[in-house]
Every structure is written in structure tokens, then in C-alpha cells.
Chains A and B, each alone.
Chain A
Amino acid sequence: MIRILALLLFVFISVPAFAAKGKVLDVQVIKAPPGAEAWLVEDHTVPVISLTFSFEGGLAYDPDDKPGTGHLVSLLLDEGAGDMTSQEYQGKLEDNAINESFTAGRDAFYGSISTLSANRDLAFGLISLALTKPRFDQDAIDRMKNTAMSEIKKDLGDPSWLVARTFNGMLFEGHYYAKPGYGTLDSIASITRKDLQDYVAAQFARNVLKVSIAGDITKDEAEKAIDKIFGSLPEKADPLNVTDAQVKYGGKIILLPLDTPQTFISAGEPGIKHSDKDWHAAMVMNYILGGSSFDARLMKEIREKRGLTYGVYSMLSSTTHAGIIQVNMSASNDKVEEALRLMKESWTQMAKDGPTQEEFQNAKSYLTGALPLELTSTGEIANAMNSLQRDDMGPNYINNRNNIINALTIEDIKRVAAKLLKADNLSIVLVGKPKNINVDILLDKPPGMGAAKAP
């Protein structure tokens, strides 16, 4: 689909740990420290273990005037802990081929680790130290601030980053989702060691913790490991007082000018959350409208028939405080007008008539058939489980999902399409030099980035 030039990019697509016949995954709910939740998928084929965890909260814990605090924490957790300096800690990870990573997301702070099972105890010991005794040495803080600021400077010239930043900053205006998660040059500079410690103290607690493990480990061993890593965390995170986001600028076209041959386009409007009873119908509808298939309507109309873009995709984005349906593409500046018109036409037509019977059957067939391919390496299984835990879907959902999809009727899809798709209500964000577009809001810099100017 994406017809990538492969370069060195290896996409690891691997196989799920398969359970009994007819089951997609054999998910065990295992013992966790009080307040937390832990799942396990055991598979001993390859001596590898992957563990993923999350603390709910994320961006909401960044102080309003210091966006990027969580991001800086994510860069610093593996930069020294307990008695170990940064170089000592990194050395332990590297000498034992242990992979650790942390991400400050919009709704949660995530961590993951993968290790050869032979180095299990060491790996779990290291991550436990990182979570409970991070050092935040000034030297490491300065180094990671440089890293973070260097990234921001790079991002400010990257059209795909600029369009996403502008989309989030404008559509969620007034809500904390609009904050730039990677911070600004000024905010990163202003963050202190105490800010980092406060962030950890406020959020890293058992009542907001979800953990999942996949791979070469038994239930008993997994329970012990989880207790060792997370058992000593505080019971409760600081409470948050946050509300759902309202999507802004419906029906408006927003332009951030940039001197590039193409315009990057993101458009969105209120969608649906994973917990909604219509989620699966929306998923089927989205696949038909702009999913991963060349047969998707947007792809057919805009790429296959007319060659206006390399790729156009719609997607449902379900986060804790907003559901969005969104479309992304890029097109040469003189083709933006036509591409937008075709996109809106597809939107409207789907809302009006829904899918054909054939499209409906094909979509169900793909979405149910491809499930095992979507659960790839032990790392991806652990991530998938974590996301189901966070969405409160229950350990058996993964095995019921196909039944839910198969039970849908074409009327369900039509109803959801009519409810969600309102072409005239889309907030459209453009980054580039589009021709013949009537712009409602002209920006001179990406929102939320303070004094930093887009080139």
C-alpha cells in the first residue's frame, strides 16, 4: 500500500502467541500490587520477554506554563537511577542487550522493556530503579534538555510535524490536549529538577497503573516481577480535574504557510471513542472510507483514479477526552483544491448512502481476518494488551472482537456514517503553499510554540 522504498527500515511483523483453537490470545489476568491491573500472555517459543506499562494522566500533569515536562522525564528515566550514573545505567542496559523506552503520551505515561529471558532479573531490577529512584542529575538534565531542544528545532522545519502540531493546537484550543507535548524552546529551558520530581511523584502510582507482559515467562515469575518493579510505588496519584475536549474551528480552513512543493493536509471533526457502542460500526465504516486498502474510497478517488496524492487515509482517533475522525494526505500545491473537493465528496456520499453490500462484506472480511497479523512480536502483544486495559475492554475482548464485527448490519454502518460524517463541519488544516484556497484563518507560526517561529 505504502509501497515503501525499503532502505534499512525493518518492519518487524511477527506472530502472536497463539492459544487454544479459536482463541486469538490466551490472556491471563495475574496478581498485581493493590490498585494496579496486570495481564500476561505466556509464550516460550523464543527466549524473549516484553513488558509494557502505563500510568494514566499524561499531558494533564505537565504544568500549564511548562509543557514538555513529561517528555523530559521520559528522556531522563534511563539516565541514572539509584547508585548508578547515566553512563553506568546505560552500560548495564547495553551490555545485556536490554531495550528500555519511555513515552509521555497525551493520556498516559508509558514504559516498555524487552529483554532476553536470561537477563530477566537484571532487566526488571533496572526498570524498578528507574521508576522509584530516578536520579535526575543536573548533568543529565542539561544533556537531555539539549536533546529535546534540538528535536524541537528540527521539528519546526518538518511539514508533517507542523501539520500535526497545528491540528492539535487549533482543534483542541482551550483544552490541555492543545499543549505541545514535546514542549517549546522556552518551556524546556525553564523546567527544573523539582518539576521533574513533582511530575513523577504526582503520577507514578498504583491506582493508575496497567501492566502487561508477553513472552517467555511463567505466571508465577511474572507476578513476582511485577511486585518487584511496581510494589513500592505510592498507592494513589494526585487527582486530576479534567473535562472532555470540544472540537474547535468546524467548517474553517486554517493555513500555516510553508515554502514546500506540497501542502500537508489534516482535517478532522468529532468522532467516536473506543468505549462507544458504535465503535465497531465506525471502524468498519472508516475502513471503507479511507482505511488501509487501495479499494478504500478516498484512495480510489484521489490516488488511483487521478494520481493527486501518494497516499490518503482516514482514521478514528480515540483518546480519553476526545474522539476524532480525521483524514491525512499531502498533495502538490496546485492540486490541493481538487484533492479537498474529492475528499469532501467522498465524505458526503458515505454519509448519504453508506457503503455498498460488497464493500461492507469485504471490510468485515478483512478486519476479522487480519486480527492475528496485527498482533505481532511479543512487544506488540504487550502493547495491544496495554491499550485494551487502558480502554477497559476486559481480557476476553480480543477473542470476542470478531464476533462483534460479524454481528454488525449494513444499517449500523449507514447510521454511524450519517451521524459522524459532516463534510461542512470539518476543521481543515493546511501547511504549505496551496493555490486557489479561500483561507479562513491565516497563521504566522504553529500554535502553542511561543516565540519560536516557523520558517
Chain B
Amino acid sequence: MKLRIFFLLALLLALPGIALAKTFNAETFTLQNGMQVVVIPNHRAPVVSHMVWYKFGGADAKPGESGIAHFLEHLMFKGTQKVPEGQFSLIVKKLGGNENAFTTHDYTAFYQDIARDHLEKVMEMEADRMKNLVLTDEQVASERQVVIEERHQRVDNTPQSKFQEQMMAALFVNHPYAIPVLGWLQEMKEMTREEALDYYHKWYQPNNAILIVAGDITAAELKPLAEKYYGLIPAQAVPERVRPRPAPIIVEHQLIMEDPRVGQPVVMKVYRVPRGNDAMDLLSEIFGGTTTARLYKDLVVDQKLAVNAASDYDPISLNDTTFTIYATPTPGTSLQALEVAIDKEIATLLDRGVTLEELKGARTRALATFTYYRDSLQGPALLFGRALCSGFDIDYLENRADRLEKITIDDVNDAADTVFRSPDLPVTGVMLPAEPAKMPPRSAAPKPAAPAPAKQGEKQP
């Protein structure tokens, strides 16, 4: 229901009458087979970022087949008859390009950043592997080991990542966001060539894909190439992405992890909330987005209960998303005291609402973020890919600045109600250091996990 209202609003705001400033000036068209194409011009340098996004992610796998979408992404590098194993990457590299791929719950994407002169070659190869993937059992067996090692490296080695998986599982009961994109280890071990190919044939279709090219090119220039390489691939019926609704959370969950490798206790409170809510975006910024926001100012600077305290909301998601509050206590502060302080902040917010000053500051930063995005080639392309694969349209991004201008204090306060007075109760997570002796035996340890929040800051240990 809320989503519908949101869309209606977006639509109304997008109506003509006021000349809306488009932030990115993206152009779009659709090929005859139904493949959507988006061009984001950026003529500063003779380079492009070429991406193909499939509306198929970890949350589209059948129960019991977790990890298969991410596994298929890896297998897409195993070659076709025309471009055998190893050649795709080799050719991109020889042309001075960089390539990569990634998978989330809602999509799988492949990209190459390359000189504009070589765009046609990568389009030819990407279109080829949309239809002509060839896999042997040996390739599948060795790549399965690679993704298992990837899981170990990203998740199983760090308590924080394992905990993250458990939090998602508690928040999204009855919904596939509860299942990690990398897969549960016991199911990953059983992934087969046939399963992977089955998903490939079902979902990797032009009418289920989006081509995004950012950089030194226009829609008029790209169109003939897109028609030549992607346009000839016949459309094929694709399953609907029917996802069960997450179950209500009517009891308060508290997840506790004690691990000798958690050096620093952390408390987090996570709410399951609607996606695509601009006011909620600003709310998160006001409540805990910066070091002058409420959580940091009150808990860290004034009350000295926390080392850090922040909130986070990501509006782009196909289904519900999360609003997260997290804090690290100062030495000598109990987690209980910190939780009480967080709850008090929430109560004050609900009681008195946000101020105009706060709203203005949050809006300024949100608008500036989009200008900083434009300072980059790939940034806008990633933004469009994520949004379009999550069921938003181009205007959702292009008109965001205009929508933000119209958001009122009441809108933000309503968003606070939506988050904190939701009938779905939050899930609280607590991570605590444990003495090695207290560590549960390996066999009793929870299975695995969720995608590691891949924040790999460069450090100089």
C-alpha cells in the first residue's frame, strides 16, 4: 500500500508544468526483443563503462539452492564456443579494459570499463555469453571450490559478517533476503552444473536484462550497436519474480553473539521498512548520518556513552529494506545503558519531530551527493542499474533532487512513525567479546552467513 502511494507521488511530481532539472540526462530506449537500454553521457574522456544487468539475484533462487545466482555469475567467465575459457578476460585486458561482475539479492551485473574505440568488441562478447555459455563438470567443480573459499574469506573468517547473516535471517522471515547471496555452506557444496544452467536458460534473457553504457557516447550512437549485438537475441518468457511477503515480527528478537574475536562490543537495532522513501532517507541522515547528527552528538559527544553511533537506510531494493541504528559503547558503559539511551533518542524524535535546520542540512548533503556522483563515470551507471533492477524507473533518479526540495518536516516525521511505530518489531543485535574458553565448539557454531559488508578500508597496520 505504502509503495503504491509512493509511486503515485513520484508520478505526480514528475508531471509537466514545472520544468524539472534532470540530474544525469540519461537517455533510454528499448530494443525490439524487450531489452532496455540506458545511456548516461559523460564526454570528458574517450572511455565508457559498459554494463549488462540481469533482473535475477540471490533472492530468485529456489529454496535449498542458495548461492546459485552468485555461482552462475562466476561460471559466466567459463567461456563459449566462440570465446573459450579465459579468453573473455584476456581480450578485455589486452584492450586495456577492466572488468568485473557482482551479485546481490536482486540482480547480477557484468561490466567492462574500456576505451570507447573498443566498446563494440565487449558488446559482441557480452551478447555472446548471454546465450552461448558452455560449461564442463571440471570447470564447475573447481569454481565451486573458489566460491566456497570466497565464502570463507568474506564471511566465515569474521564474526561481524557471520552475525550480519544471522540478523538478515531474523529480519526477513519467510522472505529470501533471509538467505545469503553467497549461499549457506551446506547448500553451496551441492551446487551442480545442471542447476546453474537451468537458471541461466530461464533468467539470462534479453527481455530480462538492461544494458547501461556511461561515458563518451550518445543514445543515437549506441542504438545501432545495441541492435546489432543484443537486438538479434530472441526474447523468451521469463518467470515472474514472485516473492513471498516477509512474515510479521510480533515478538522482539535479540540476537547475541559472543566470540573471542569480537574485540569491541556493538549493539544494533534494525527495522524492516519500506523501500524508496525519500523522507526516510533524510530521516536517517538527520538521526544518525553524520557526526553532528542526533545519535553522535548526544550519545558520543555529550553523554559519552558511545564511541560511535549512527543510522543507515538504503532506499534501493526490490522488496522491503532495512533502517539500521548501531553504536559502540565507551569503556565502562554497559550495552543496556546504551540501548536505553538509543531508545530515548527515538522517543524524543517521535515526540518532538525534526527541525527545519536539520531538514535543510540533510537535504543539502543529499543533493551534493548527486553532484559528486557526476564527477565519476561508473557511479551513475551503478545507481541506474540498481534502481532499474529494483523496479524503479529512470525518473526516480532524475527527479530525486526535485522531490527532495518538496519534502517537509511533516514528511520526515511521518517517516519516523513508519520506522519506529511499525507493527513489525525491530531486531536487536549484540556482539560481545568472549574468552576463548567460552567459544562454542566448531560443530555447534551457527552455519553461515550473509554477504560481508565489504568495507575494506586501506589500512597501514
Q: A: which residues have CB within 8 A of B?
A: 1-18, 43, 45-48, 86-87, 90-91, 94-97, 105-106, 114, 116, 143, 146-147, 149-150, 152-162, 164-165, 168, 180-182, 215, 258-262, 264, 292-295, 300, 303-311, 330-332, 362, 365-366, 368-373, 376-379, 455
Contacts and interface: CB of A to CB of B under 8 A. Distances in A.
B307 A146 contact: yes
Contact of B371 (A48, A96, A106): A48
A285 to B, nearest CB: 16
A153 B376 contact: no
A156 to B, nearest CB: 5
A150 B461 contact: no
B73 interface: yes
Interface string B139-151: 0011111110110
Nearest to A59: B460
Contacts of A165: 461
Contacts of B304: 143
A16 B44 CA distance: 7
A7 B45 contact: no
B192 interface: no
Interface stretch (B95-103, B231-239, B414-422): B95-103
B406 interface: no
Interface in B133-170: 141-147, 149-150, 152-154, 156-159
A13 B376 contact: yes
Nearest to B439: A259
Contacts of B101: 3
A355 to B, nearest CB: 14
A43 B47 contact: no
* Residue from A12, A87, A365 having most chain B Cβ neighbours under 10 A: A12
Nearest to A378: B375
Interface residues of B, number: 96
B455 interface: yes
A90 B96 contact: no
B459 A161 contact: yes
B292 A90 contact: yes
Contact of B263 (A146, A155, A309, A373): A155
Given A292-B98, A308-B149, A373-B113, A157 B260 contact: yes
B148 to A, nearest CB: 8
Contacts of A18: 44-46
Contacts, number: 260
B100 A2 contact: yes
Interface stretch (B85-93, B200-208, B248-256, B271-279): B85-93
B63 interface: no
B142 A307 contact: yes
A106 B460 contact: yes
A36 to B, nearest CB: 24
Nearest to B150: A310
B377 interface: yes
Interface of B: 42, 44-47, 49, 70, 73-74, 77, 86, 89-90, 93-104, 109, 113-115, 141-147, 149-150, 152-154, 156-159, 181-182, 215, 259-264, 290-292, 297, 300-301, 304, 307-308, 314, 328, 330-331, 361, 364-365, 367-369, 371-379, 382-383, 433, 436, 439, 451-456, 459-461
Given A14-B375, A153-B264, A376-B377, A294 B77 contact: yes
Contact of B98 (A261, A365, A370): A370
Contact of A6 (B47, B109, B149, B328): B109
A366 B149 contact: no
Chain B interface mostly helix, strand, loop or mixed?
Answer: mixed
A74 B325 CA distance: 26
Given A87-B301, A157-B262, A46 B374 contact: yes
9 contacts: A4-B100, A10-B382, A86-B301, A90-B291, A158-B261, A262-B152, A309-B146, A365-B94, A369-B94
Nearest to A330: B153
Given A5-B104, A5-B452, A373-B114, 9 more contacts: A9-B455, A164-B459, A295-B86, A307-B142, A311-B153, A371-B96, A455-B260, A455-B263, A455-B436
Contacts of A161: 459, 461
Contact of A13 (B46, B297, B377): B377
A372 to B, nearest CB: 6
Given A7-B104, A157-B261, A181-B460, A15 B292 contact: no
A97 to B, nearest CB: 3
Given A293-B89, A369-B115, A15 B145 contact: no
Contacts of B182: 5
Contacts of A159: 157-158
Contacts of B382: 6, 10-11
Contacts of A377: 375-376
Contacts of A5: 70, 102-104, 154, 181-182, 451-452, 454
Contact of A146 (B97, B98, B330, B373): B330
Nearest to A157: B261
B97 A150 contact: no
A385 to B, nearest CB: 16
A343 to B, nearest CB: 15
Nearest to B104: A6
* Residue from A105, A164, A310, A330 having most chain B Cβ neighbours under 10 A: A310
* Residue from B101, B143, B152 having most chain A Cβ neighbours under 10 A: B152
B365 A260 contact: no
Given A97-B365, A332-B149, A376-B376, A150 B328 contact: yes
A61 B166 CA distance: 44
Contacts of B153: 262, 310-311, 330
Contact of A293 (B90, B142, B371, B433): B90
Nearest to B455: A9
Contacts of B147: 310
Given A1-B99, A3-B73, A330-B157, A373 B461 contact: no
Given A94-B292, A372-B115, A116 B368 contact: yes
A144 B259 CA distance: 26
Contacts of A87: 292, 297, 301
A146 B378 contact: no
Contacts of A6: 102-104, 109, 382
A268 B161 CA distance: 29
Nearest to B147: A310
B453 A7 contact: yes
Contacts of A295: 86, 89-90, 93
Contacts of A15: 42, 44-45, 47, 215, 376-377
Contact of B102 (A4, A14, A155, A261): A4
A105 B461 CA distance: 10
Given A4-B100, A9-B454, A97 B364 contact: yes
A153 B44 contact: no
A91 B290 CA distance: 9
A4 B110 CA distance: 11
B368 A97 contact: yes
A25 B455 CA distance: 30
B375 A48 contact: yes
Contacts of A146: 307, 330-331
Nearest to B43: A45
Contacts of A143: 300-301, 304, 307
Contact of B461 (A157, A180, A311, A365): A180
Contacts of A378: 375
A115 B171 CA distance: 38
Contacts of B143: 307
Contacts of B263: 152-157, 455
